[in-house]
Structure 1
Amino acid sequence: MVNYNSITLPLHSGNPPTYLIRRMTKLAGCITKVIIDDKGTLEFMKKLSDPLWFQAFGCVLGFDWHSSGLTTVVMAVLKQSLSVESHGIAIAGGKGKKAKGTLGEIQNICNHEFNLTEDKIQTLIYASKMCAKVDNCAIQDFYALYHHNIIFDGCGNWSVVQQGMNTSTNTSRRYHWFSKWLKNGYVLEPHSGLIGDANFGNKVLDMTNRNSIENQKTSLDLVNDHQNLANIYDSLSKISTRRKDMSIDNWINQPVINNNLFRLPEFSDPASDLHYYMPRKIDWNLMRKIYDIHPSTYEEFLSIPGVGPSTIRAVSLIAELIFGSKTSWNDPVKFTFAHGGKDGVPFFIDKSNYDESTRLLQSCIEGAEISREERVSSLKKLTEFNHRMFNQENKDYQSCNPNLGKNS
């Protein structure tokens, strides 16, 4: 049974066969061209930023409906099949080492393919860096990014698709971004959607949640404190010495567990041992650098080179435990689907809205310059995906929720 709030994406090893890649490349190019010719590049990037539409698109191209490889291969196929000349869109980045070359690719594409101003080029570079920084540091969900793509057009519009891996559960999680969605910047509920397996047993630090705004402000005050580093160090000492037998040196030297995060027993939430884990160590040279920069916003603080998960978590915990500035410990993957969730969070599934997305894919397949066999196969896969996502789940849920499909 499918849960709209979370979908398990198991990690799959190996490579798809060559014949499948050829088919996917051709079909992806044809479908994309139909969408762009009819609705423009912005609409295509908007669709890519919808996690369920992306999932359906991958299934149409020939992938298992919930495979982790769907993300990496679909983006690699799109990068290979799309061109600025034919589609008006470029893609930078990729999996592993290719992700590290994203910024250079953006610069190269903008210089040779698009006539973008230097300001727009720097905006794209900043977007690529900040999307990765937020999902690696501001959201600490135990998924480490290993794949990153930014898709952009000649007007500077962009969409980001990136994926993280959790080796302990052998699952992945995909993060979607869209430039038109960023009305409140990069640190206030910026995603267009997330898809993956929710960490129901763990507390996830989410500094982008609205409930973390107070903690953001206090964290910023801490790193800009006029007493420089003394206040932070003193606060850490207070936290670590609440128990007479536990000094700061003791907990710094404890064994590494759970991704280099450490537990303070006196502050642990009984419902979750991961709630108040402190980082193993604090980079005091970095703290001095932050103070010298004197960031004016939380986003600027996050963007400083060297500011990683440990720094974000340590300052956040000090803000909460010493100064009472609450933050969100809810996994964001449960609340960020563009089409809603079956439990009414943030609203009930808008079936008509998703039907429209499905119809768009269907019309693109029917209008694409492909063989009849390819068309039939793609439509069949789309039908199978829709059946998995809606039919059985809706039958079970409709009996006790007659208002399913209405916004709450």
Structure 2
Amino acid sequence: MTRRSGSADLPLHGGRVPAWLGQRMSRLGAVIVQAIVLEYGRDELLRRLAHPFWFQSFGAVMGMDWHSSGITTSVLGALKRGLTPLSDELGLHVCGGRGKHSRATPGELVTVGERVGLDGAALARASRLVAKVDSAAVQDGFDLYLHGFIVADDGRWVVVQQGMNGERRQARRYHWLSEGLESFVDAPHAAIEGQGQGIIVNLADCRASVSRGRQLDMLGDLGPDGISRELARIENGKVPAQAEAQPLLPHLIMPGHHDVRPEDVVARRLHGALAAAADRGPKDFAELLLVPGIGARSVRALAMVAEVVHGAPCRFSDPGRFSLAHGGKDRHPFPVPTRVYDRTIEVMKSAVRKAKLGNEEELGAIRRLDEQARRLERAATSCPSVGAVIAEERARSHEYGGRSVFGWEPPLDTSGETAQNGS
């Protein structure tokens, strides 16, 4: 993965994650992390967390609102709850969070350092510097309100933090990765997520090194009063202020609409998952996993989870597709199918548990499911459209234990509508 991996706009959303979903997100998030560590190691997990497109897809496959800023808070919260009991086993520690939990991060890092033999004070300093760079050195109009710091026993870490612009009703997420980090002030970000919104002040850009040095010189030559006078001259138009626009990285624009539309999904990738589910679900995949009741719907969800575990970075350009695994809490694209969700957790936990004991057959089957989906997506034909998949899911939501913040999904009435539409 590249160190600077892209950007995106995230619409601000309020509300809370209901307990029934938050508990499932913690369990699924933890078992996906375990699978990635078993297959690829801790360093690869940290690289993925530092990739904004993967991070958004990770949240979407766990049933969170697929396009919103709330994914950041809910994913970090789910990982903190789910991985804390596994911290000794995995050598991973999730610190920080939103609001007061963000401010507690340095103290948590000192505690982690004392427990595992790391320099907790140095980690705490890194946490403060990361927050300071994104709140002061990068002046882009977004005020930080969330800071998550994930550190491994070997001292490597990733930071995910988020700022909000209340006037625009938008959020921007910043990703940091310690791997290869040589300076906190020379282009340190693994990624900054957020659409360009005009000229910003980014003193952490490597091209700003002369500016940083000149600022120190000005402070020594002019003093604070002299700098204030120069600033007043610029603001009054006596000295033309010139700024160079920041170059735009490839960025993912998360739309404001709640519903998942065909343009939000790369159809051929969805068709691969559908074809793999139809081809393998009723036959050898269920027999291999030895889990009764694994049908095409469960395998479709598993295929998308498998892609989150095994997929290359380029495959996460359409996070909306991953919401088709387990829906969303606000009924977009459809209510969370709790029975399917629980089956996904069951299968993944079984595969991870057996892999830890040396039996990698089930974990290997999930890897092969992902490989099968990629092969089939190139040749899949006669697959339903995105709209048809969503319509069928809504029609059968009651059978799958569909649930949202509006409650349990009732059966369709004779007119084809549910008693509550939540739209």
Matched, 1:376 2:377: no
Superposed CA RMSD in Å reads: 3.5
Q: Which of 107, 112, 118 lines up with 1:104 in the alignment?
A: 107
- Output the CA distance in 2 between the equivalents of 1:145 and 1:37: 34
Instruction: Provide closer, same or farther for how the CA distance between residues 267 and 59 of structure 1 changes in structure 2, counting only shifts above 3 A.
Output: farther
Q: What is the match of residue 311 of structure 1?
A: none
Q: Which letter maps to 2:26?
A: T
Q: Which of 192, 197, 214 lines up with 1:218 in the alignment?
A: 214
Q: What is the match of residue 397 of structure 2?
A: none
- Output the CA distance in 2 between the equivalents of 1:65 and 1:171: 15
Q: Which letter maps to 1:39?
A: Y
Q: What is the match of residue 225 of structure 2?
A: 233
Q: Which of 85, 92, 96 lines up with 2:88 in the alignment?
A: 85
Q: What is the match of residue 415 of structure 2?
A: none
Q: What is the match of residue 140 of structure 1?
A: 139
Where does 1:303-322 land on structure 2 (aligned, <5 Å)?
A: none
Q: Which of 177, 187, 203 lines up with 1:189 in the alignment?
A: 187
Instruction: Provide closer, same or farther for how the CA distance between residues 153 and 221 of structure 1 changes in structure 2, counting only shifts above 3 A.
Output: same
Question: How far has the Cα of 1:126 moved from its partner?
Answer: 1.3
Where does 1:130-169 land on structure 2 (aligned, <5 Å)?
A: 130-169=129-168
Q: What is the match of residue 264 of structure 1?
A: 236
Q: Report the 3-state secondary structure (helix = DSSP H, G, I; strand = E; otherwise coil) of the residue aligned with 2:179.
A: helix
Q: Which letter maps to 2:200?
A: V
Instruction: Provide closer, same or farther for how the CA distance between residues 234 and 24 of structure 1 changes in structure 2, counting only shifts above 3 A.
Output: closer
Q: What is the match of residue 206 of structure 1?
A: 202
- Output the CA distance in 1 between the equivalents of 2:251 and 2:148: 20
Q: Report the 3-state secondary structure (helix = DSSP H, G, I; strand = E; otherwise coil) of the residue aligned with 2:20.
A: helix
Q: Which letter maps to 2:57?
A: A
Encode CA deviations 1:259-317: one digit per residue, 9 max, x unaligned. xxxx4334466xxxxx7xxxxxxxxxxxxxxxxxxxxxxxxxxxxxxxxxxxxxxxxxx
- Output the CA distance in 1 between the equivalents of 2:149 and 2:188: 15
Instruction: Provide closer, same or farther for how the CA distance between residues 61 and 123 of structure 1 changes in structure 2, counting only shifts above 3 A.
Output: same
Q: Report the 3-state secondary structure (helix = DSSP H, G, I; strand = E; otherwise coil) of the residue aligned with 2:318.
A: helix
Alignment identity in percent?
A: 30
Question: How far has the Cα of 1:239 moved from its partner?
Answer: 4.9
Structure 1's unaligned 5+ residue stretches are 243-262, 270-274, 276-326, 339-354, 392-408
Q: What is the match of residue 343 of structure 1?
A: none
Runs of 4+ in 1 over 4 A off after TM superposition: 366-375, 380-387
Where does 1:3-402 land on structure 2 (aligned, <5 Å)?
A: 6-82=7-83, 83-112=86-115, 114-116=116-118, 120-183=119-182, 185-199=183-197, 202-223=198-219, 225=220, 230-241=222-233, 263-267=235-239, 329-330=245-246, 334-335=248-249, 372=294, 376-377=300-301, 379-380=303-304, 386=316, 388=318
Asked whether the equivalents of residues 51 and 176 of structure 1 are also in contact (C-alpha less than 8 Å), the reply is yes
Figure out how many residues of one structure are paired with residues of the other and give that number.
Answer: 276
Q: What is the match of residue 364 of structure 2?
A: none
Instruction: Provide closer, same or farther for how the CA distance between residues 233 and 151 of structure 1 changes in structure 2, counting only shifts above 3 A.
Output: same
Q: Which letter maps to 1:234?
A: G
Q: Which letter maps to 2:211?
A: N
Question: How far has the Cα of 1:108 moved from its partner?
Answer: 1.6
- Output the CA distance in 2 between the equivalents of 1:140 and 1:368: 51
Encode CA deviations 1:204-255: one digit per residue, 9 max, x unaligned. 00111232121111112233x2x5xx4452353255358xxxxxxxxxxxxx
Instruction: Provide closer, same or farther for how the CA distance between residues 267 and 168 of structure 1 changes in structure 2, counting only shifts above 3 A.
Output: farther
Q: Report the 3-state secondary structure (helix = DSSP H, G, I; strand = E; otherwise coil) of the residue aligned with 2:158.
A: strand
Instruction: Provide closer, same or farther for how the CA distance between residues 63 and 239 of structure 1 changes in structure 2, counting only shifts above 3 A.
Output: closer
Q: TM-score, normalised by structure 2?
A: 0.58
Encode CA deviations 1:39-78: one digit per residue, 9 max, x unaligned. 2222111110111111111111112332100000000000
- Output the CA distance in 2 between the equivalents of 1:368 and 1:264: 72
Asked whether the equivalents of residues 94 and 149 of structure 1 are also in contact (C-alpha less than 8 Å), the reply is yes
Q: What is the match of residue 397 of structure 1?
A: none
Instruction: Provide closer, same or farther for how the CA distance between residues 40 and 388 of structure 1 changes in structure 2, counting only shifts above 3 A.
Output: closer
Q: Which letter maps to 1:174?
A: R
- Output the CA distance in 1 between the equivalents of 2:71 and 2:169: 15
- Output the CA distance in 2 between the equivalents of 1:389 and 1:86: 30
Encode CA deviations 1:83-136: one digit per residue, 9 max, x unaligned. 212321001100011101111111122223x122xxx22221111011100000
- Output the CA distance in 1 between the equivalents of 2:298 and 2:77: 20
Q: Which letter maps to 1:79?
A: K
Question: How far has the Cα of 1:5 moved from its partner?
Answer: 6.0
- Output the CA distance in 1 between the equivalents of 2:127 and 2:289: 31
Structure 2's unaligned 5+ residue stretches are 253-268, 277-284, 309-314, 322-423
Asked whether the equivalents of residues 206 and 328 of structure 1 are also in contact (C-alpha less than 8 Å), the reply is no
Q: Which letter maps to 2:88?
A: E
- Output the CA distance in 2 between the equivalents of 1:64 and 1:163: 17
Instruction: Provide closer, same or farther for how the CA distance between residues 386 and 161 of structure 1 changes in structure 2, counting only shifts above 3 A.
Output: closer
Q: Which letter maps to 1:87?
A: L
Encode CA deviations 1:288-347: one digit per residue, 9 max, x unaligned. xxxxxxxxxxxxxxxxxxxxxxxxxxxxxxxxxxxxxxx6552x7x33779xxxxxxxxx
